[in-house]
Chain A
Amino acid sequence: MATIETEIKVTPEIAAEHGLTAEEYARIQKILERDPNITELGIFSVSWSEHCSYKSSRVHLRRLPTRGKHVVQGPGENAGVVDIGDGLVAVFKIESHNHPSFVEPFQGAATGVGGILRDIFTMGARPIAVLDSLRFGEITAGGRAEAVASGAKALGVAASSGRAEAAPIRSNVAGIANAETSEEVARNRRILDGVVQGIAHYGNCFGVPTVGGEVVFEPCYANNPLVNALALGIAHRNELFFARAQGTGNPVIYAGAKTGRDGIHGASLLASAEFSEESEQKRPNVQVGDPFMEKLLLEACLEAMRTGAVVAIQDMGAAGLTSSSCEMASRGGVGIELELARVPQRETGMTPYEMMLSESQERMLLVAQRGREREVFDVFKKWGLDAVEVGVVTDDGMLRLLHHGKIAAEIPAHALAEEGPRYERPIAAPAPQKAEKLFEFSAQGMDLTENFRRLLASPTIASKRWITEQYDSMVRTNTRVGPGAGDAAVLRLKESHRALAIKTDGNGRWSFLNPRVGAMHAVAEAARNVACTGARPVAATNCLNFGNPEKPEVMWQFTQAIDGISEACTVLEAPITGGNVSFYNETLGKAIYPTPILGVLGIIEDAECALGSAFRNDGDAIVLLDAGRAAASQDSVVREFSSSEYAKVIQGVVAGEPPAIDLNAEKRLIDCLVDLAGESMVLSAHDVSDGGLAVTIAESCFASDGLSAEVRLPADGPVEYALFGERGARAVVSVSAPSLARVQSIAAQYNVSASRVGTVTRGEFRVECESAQPGVVVRGKIDSFQKAWAESLSNVLDT
């Protein structure tokens, strides 16, 4: 019987419908030395898609530092691998699932988690933690900053509705909702709710603790939320697995869930081409995840690997069978021949095209030693999973697909995987902003205490407990510092006295205002957070969320961000071991803020020394560690402060520049924090970031058991800047009085100033500033501030 695809004559038009340019199509003809059939065209189109081929980013990604003394495996494998001592390695990577999460928040987020978990256990590592970096549109009527658009015009970026310019600044300040905004707000809440429940559903059932990440709200994410999931796993260094097919004649084994028609990119084409009725059926393009199946797949894969009969293994993620088979063949320098009729199928009458492009979840492709395949089959049978020999490794370097013995596709695997297009896309800096509205200091009727309360309640700063409590953050009993308890998540290792700390960070607003500096801050903040727990940063992973790379301004943002990350990762000695690029984060031509998310991994030599952010005892000294310098001129203070959370919340201003960054100062602070924690000289550590010092100190109180603080900050520009400025290279630590002198002498060794700014108390919460006029002060009952911070999210989301 003739297979369907041979009945479709491939034309340049059909190639175009597959998103292939004329040049790309010509390249395919050159590689094949003939016209491709429809199956081959589909295979090329997914393999050479931006998502799979990195064709727009690859030339720039080369600039990232990827080597370091701990790095065992850099970018190019399923995940990065880092040596953590005691014969163990950490395997970790971050990946985006943005568009699916907008189309179908619950399943989009769930399968995002499922995908990154497979990347980890494909390498032989057992996942021990997941973090999620989330970005949503505003969930309260306030915060529709007109300045978002004013700063954004040059890039055609806009606030949630694209009508942001029309939103009067006062309505931001007063937080008055009109009909439209409340509609958007309701939708943003639904997206958040679906995403959070999707992450919880998958991680909780799979049995991996979701221990942290961050959640940030900006209007620009309303039509394009960001869902970046990071997974961390542990393996014995000598038991790692790679996706490199070896050994002519070795069996290729398909394991896990059956293949269905879900997630097929070419579905529209098939449907529009006039042939058989059965292929008229359409399926939703967002895959449906089954965490129970994935849990079984995890246990079966790790057990199969222990038999020693597995040669290579690769999960089926994006482009399913296509990418897994051609990557394993290409990396191993061999060929693979598959008989697609043997592929376990969920539906009848599937064509080779459909099977090769399906993105059904929870599937694996393995190469086993010929003669020992029985051992592999037995393990999967024990776990109740399909495992079928679907092909063999060949020596001719071809990816050859048979369907009922008839050749359905024949493509040189290496050319498919490695000779895809690479683009040097045009780059152009956006036109300079003119006449931005900057922050106005000491505006009329400034009430610091009231402003502080509003800042604490702004969703980006407020407690995320409503979200994190829906995640099982404790399963596997390694979570030493969990959500909200410290600046980074800390996981002890049962096989070692060491612990791992991990955190994601990224500031889209700053990256928008200055992509290079913003990206540096993302690296620095993640590393600083890791160091606050007492861990030395050793490696990083990145998820680069940007708009349409065919726009020169977006490409400019991208290359600037790459330069910033490269510089920061080099100075902070946290090389990039992997990650993912997510382009085309645009809806109706409106791009998101450029949002590079960095995940930084650190090692704590003695798990017992892990630090949280909570103040510990009444009477302890509150010490400000500061390795940097305040902004030089009044003008730069204004521009810097105009990019702060305070400026956005209080005056609806998003403008100016991110704080200047001094990477060497960041490095000195990090080394100082690690040293202090290692000598058990400090009782808590919390870095200064969103909301500035006042918020940092308040959060250390909130995390504690009912403690408060009395603080007098040194003069540092205008009082609002001193209290709420977000300049980096700073952290607040608490110290028992006897240790104070020792702490200051250690800090001095790193050229970090350590000034006592206050005391932990059980009384009124009070933050004043030397430069303030008398009476200008933040003061009130700690409980009342905590209430504003703690209940902000549940107040709007529990409806």
Chain B
Amino acid sequence: MKFGVVVFPGSNCDDDAHYAIGEVIGQPVEFVWHQSEQLSGLDAVLLPGGFSYGDYLRTGAIAKFSPVMRAIEKFARSGGLVLGVCNGFQILVESGLLPGALMRNKHLRFLCRPVYVRVENAETPFTCGAREGEVLQLPIAHGEGSYFCDPATLGELERNRQIVFRYVHRDGRDADENDFEANPNGSLAGIAGVSNRDRNVVGLMPHPERAVEAGLGSVDGRVILRSMVEYLSRDRAAERVSA
């Protein structure tokens, strides 16, 4: 099993993701340059945080035109696992792989702090190692993470259980878009992370790769990376059986 970490000009959490997957979780991982047109040999791709193309024009708006994104769309359509973190989430939304939009934080300021998110759907390749309703402490660091979508889309997200993470209070209580203490950017319905219909593409604003070592504050990010590993190995086992 092999992970890829995409490097766009301006990505700045690529090293952190590479370290978390390779050194902490202990899985094979390689960098994928933004101009690569194929993802041969990869089982999962992570779009890291940062300021791809300087966030010029609009976050993720330029990155979506890079060659690697065409490869990632193909990869996703064929069932490959794609995880977008922070700027990676913004890129996935811009390129239409995930629904909705990420807008300026409600209070208009960049914000870096630990937050709590609740696992809303434990039946995805990214959360299968977690309990439904489990509360994770993960750090955020963004200026444009306020999730928004139209009522119809929201209804769909709810029906298809595409809302994977929600900002909540430490004790798991809900936090609506005006509850800045727990919902720091004023996201609609407290949405912190969503998946596509097939659940093989997930994006979230908090940084799991920053929460994998006790010495750095939290290890709750591991469950997301480990779920991917678990899912992929099950997948492999299944293949072997069917073969």
Contact = CB atoms under 8 A, between A and B. Distances in A.
Interface of A: 197, 200, 204-207, 290-293, 295-296, 383-384, 469-477, 479-480, 492, 494, 607-608, 610, 798
B215 A480 contact: yes
Given A205-B54, A291-B54, 15 more contacts: A204-B51, A204-B110, A204-B141, A205-B55, A207-B12, A292-B53, A295-B10, A469-B113, A472-B110, A473-B112, A474-B210, A475-B141, A477-B209, A477-B216, A798-B107
A475 B50 CA distance: 9
Interface in B71-114: 107, 109-113
A138 B17 CA distance: 42
B5 interface: no
Across the A-B interface, the 6 shortest Cβ-Cβ residue pairs: A207-B12, A292-B54, A205-B51, A472-B141, A477-B16, A472-B112
A292 B16 contact: no
A471 B142 CA distance: 9
B112 A469 contact: yes
Contacts of B112: 469-474
Contacts of A607: 215
B190 interface: no
A470 B141 contact: no
Contacts of B107: 798
Nearest to B33: A382
Contacts of A296: 9-10
Contacts, number: 79
A295 B15 CA distance: 14
B216 A479 contact: yes
B69 interface: no
Nearest to A798: B107
A379 to B, nearest CB: 13
A106 to B, nearest CB: 13
B108 to A, nearest CB: 10
A563 to B, nearest CB: 40
B209 A470 contact: no
Nearest to A466: B109
A200 B113 CA distance: 14
Interface string B204-239: 000101100101100000000000000000000000
B15 to A, nearest CB: 7
Contacts of B9: 292, 295-296, 383-384
B65 interface: no
Contacts of A474: 112, 139, 141, 207, 210, 216
11 contacts: A205-B54, A205-B55, A207-B12, A292-B10, A293-B54, A470-B109, A474-B207, A474-B216, A475-B13, A476-B15, A494-B23
A365 B204 CA distance: 40
Nearest to B113: A469
Interface of B: 9-10, 12-13, 15-16, 19-20, 23, 49-51, 53-56, 107, 109-113, 139, 141, 143, 207, 209-210, 213, 215-216
Nearest to A485: B217
Nearest to A292: B54
Nearest to B109: A470
B50 to A, nearest CB: 6
**Most chain B beta-carbon neighbours within 10 Å: one of A200, A384, A469, A475:** A475
Contacts of B111: 469-470
A469 B141 CA distance: 9
B183 to A, nearest CB: 15
Contacts of A471: 110, 112
B205 to A, nearest CB: 13
B140 to A, nearest CB: 10
A205 B10 CA distance: 8
Contacts of B15: 476
B interface, by DSSP: helix, strand, loop or mixed? Answer: mixed
A383 B215 CA distance: 34
Contacts of A291: 51, 54
B10 A476 contact: no
A470 B216 contact: no
Nearest to B111: A469
A69 B218 CA distance: 37
B215 A492 contact: yes
Nearest to B15: A476
Nearest to A610: B215
Contacts of B19: 477, 494
B104 to A, nearest CB: 13
Contacts of B23: 494
B110 A200 contact: yes
A206 B12 contact: yes
Contacts of A292: 9-10, 51, 53-56
Contact of B54 (A290, A475, A479): A290
Contacts of A290: 54
A474 B23 CA distance: 18
**Most chain A beta-carbon neighbours within 10 Å: one of B12, B54, B139, B210:** B12
Nearest to B9: A296
Nearest to B12: A207
A292 B16 CA distance: 18
Contacts of B210: 474, 477
Contacts of A480: 215-216
B53 A476 contact: no
Contact of A476 (B16, B51, B139): B16
B39 to A, nearest CB: 20
A292 B62 CA distance: 13
Given A471-B112, A474-B141, A295 B216 contact: no
B178 to A, nearest CB: 15
Nearest to B13: A475
B33 to A, nearest CB: 9
Nearest to A499: B215
A798 B20 CA distance: 36
Contacts of B12: 205-207, 295, 475
B181 to A, nearest CB: 12
Contact of B16 (A384, A475, A492, A608): A475
Contacts of B56: 292
**Most chain A beta-carbon neighbours within 10 Å: one of B107, B143, B209:** B143
Nearest to B108: A197
Nearest to B214: A608
Nearest to B35: A382
Contacts of B209: 477
Nearest to B20: A477
A85 B72 CA distance: 42
Nearest to A492: B215
Contacts of B143: 204
Nearest to A205: B51
A296 B23 CA distance: 25
Contacts of A383: 9
Contact of A207 (B50, B53, B110): B50
A608 B215 contact: yes
A224 B54 CA distance: 31
A476 B17 CA distance: 9
A473 to B, nearest CB: 6
Contacts of B215: 480, 492, 607-608, 610
B67 to A, nearest CB: 14
A386 to B, nearest CB: 14
Nearest to A126: B15
B113 to A, nearest CB: 5
Contacts of A479: 216
A471 B210 CA distance: 15
Contacts of A293: 54
B115 to A, nearest CB: 11
A797 to B, nearest CB: 10
**Most chain A beta-carbon neighbours within 10 Å: one of B10, B23, B111:** B10
A470 B140 CA distance: 11
Contacts of A476: 15-16
A296 B109 CA distance: 25
Given A205-B54, A480-B215, A607-B215, A470 B13 contact: no
B186 to A, nearest CB: 14
Contacts of B113: 469
B121 to A, nearest CB: 27
